[in-house]
């Protein structure tokens, strides 16, 4: 299958590890020049070095907090200066704090979650659209969570706030098809990353069982019987971003081993 990705430029957010890193690496392996961002300077440079070593791709690494509008604008500006433009965008962010509804008594945590998950995506998209238009089109993947379809216990902020990103993805697909920009939502579920290990640790503490037991019980709920590998999620992102998905926009794709049971 021809992906048509060679030589394109991608912005990949929250990419020092986990899903973002896997997507950046998989794009780089297809000949994409990637611009990656996350907060910690040393970690994002290390991620870039690993991707360069493994793929020989051109990688720009920027340390920035994606909750800051200025930081996102600067990231995109530097990407344009150094890599000449933008064709592809993968939005992503760290997860918000866990907690039940009643534990979240301070309004600030709600605003913080909105900044982290929704406004970061809004600002990345806003900065990328004019650059994609200049290139005659582009492709975006907005990464969310299985929680947009099935709220997860003790993840109230994620359950409520990420739904906005799902709606944003669908709205953008409709408004920007005329610009040749495709927009799709990618839904991870139980992909084995630091975030999932952290959440399993919290569940283990709350229920008084070992982390291994939590993982076994969780995997037993998944038809494929295991957690996913970040590279499996990344392959779906690469496909949706590529020309091979040229007639796919406004779609939501799950990469969850079959865990979500709803028909759509």
Which residue ranges make up the site for ligand NAD (CB under 6 A)?
14-20, 38-39, 65-67, 92-95, 116, 143, 145-146, 188-191, 193-196
Least CB distance to ligand NAD at residue 105 (A): 22
CB closer to ligand NAD out of 139 and 143: 143
CB closer to ligand NAD out of 93 and 160: 93
Least CB distance to ligand NAD at residue 117 (A): 7
Residue 234: exposed, middle, or buried by beta-carbon count in 10 A (0-12, 13-18, 19+)?
buried
Least CB distance to ligand NAD at residue 150 (A): 11
Give dist(CA 73, CA 2) in Å, integer: 32
Which residue is at the shortest CB distance from ligand NAD? 18
CB closer to ligand NAD out of 14 and 125: 14
Least CB distance to ligand NAD at residue 17 (A): 5
Give dist(CA 44, CA 255) in Å, integer: 25
Residue 54 CA: distances (Å) to CA of 26, 29, 49, 59, 137? 10, 8, 9, 12, 29
CB closer to ligand NAD out of 176 and 190: 190
Three-class secondary structure of residue 252 per DSSP: strand
CB closer to ligand NAD out of 138 and 189: 189
Least CB distance to ligand NAD at residue 186 (A): 10
Reported residue count of the chain is 264
Q: Are 117 and 65 in contact (CB under 8 A)?
A: no
Residues facing 26 on adjacent strands: none
CB closer to ligand NAD out of 67 and 123: 67
Residue 35 is classified by DSSP as: E
**What sign results for the dihedral spanned by CA atoms 162, 94, 132, 69?**
positive
Least CB distance to ligand NAD at residue 6 (A): 26
Instruction: Say how far residue 65 (Cα) sits from the centre of its chain.
Output: 15
Residue 56 CA: distances (Å) to CA of 6, 31, 59, 94, 241? 13, 9, 9, 27, 20
CB closer to ligand NAD out of 83 and 146: 146
Least CB distance to ligand NAD at residue 139 (A): 19
Q: Strand 33-38 to strand 9-13: parallel, antiparallel, or no bridges (unpaired)?
A: parallel
Q: Are 31 and 7 in contact (CB under 8 A)?
A: yes
């Amino acid at each position: 299958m021809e992906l048509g990705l060679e030589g394109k430029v991608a912005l990949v957010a929250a990419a020092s590890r986990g899903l973002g890193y896997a997507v950046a690496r998989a794009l780089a392996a297809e000949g994409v020049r990637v611009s990656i961002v996350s907060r910690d300077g040393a970690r994002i440079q290390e991620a870039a070095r690993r991707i360069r070593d493994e793929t020989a791709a051109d990688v720009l690494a920027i340390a920035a907090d994606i909750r800051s509008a200025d930081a996102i604008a600067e990231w995109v500006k530097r990407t344009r200066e150094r890599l000449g433009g933008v064709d592809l965008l993968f939005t992503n962010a760290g997860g918000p704090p866990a907690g039940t509804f009643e534990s979240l008594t301070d309004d600030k945590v709600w605003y913080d979650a909105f900044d982290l998950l929704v406004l970061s995506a809004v600002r990345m998209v806003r900065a990328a659209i004019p650059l994609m238009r200049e290139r005659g089109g582009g492709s975006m993947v907005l990464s969310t969570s299985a929680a947009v379809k099935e709220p997860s216990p003790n993840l109230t902020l994620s359950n409520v706030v990420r739904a906005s990103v799902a709606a944003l993805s669908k709205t953008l697909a409709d408004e920007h098809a005329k610009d040749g920009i495709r927009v799709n939502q990618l839904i991870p579920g139980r992909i084995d990353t630091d975030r999932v290990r952290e959440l399993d640790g919290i569940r283990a503490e709350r229920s008084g069982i070992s982390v291994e037991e939590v993982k076994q019980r969780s995997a037993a709920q998944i038809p494929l019987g295991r957690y996913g590998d970040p590279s499996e999620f990344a392959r779906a992102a690469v496909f949706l971003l590529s020309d091979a998905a040229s007639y796919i926009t406004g779609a939501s794709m799950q990469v969850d081993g079959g865990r979500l049971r709803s028909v759509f």
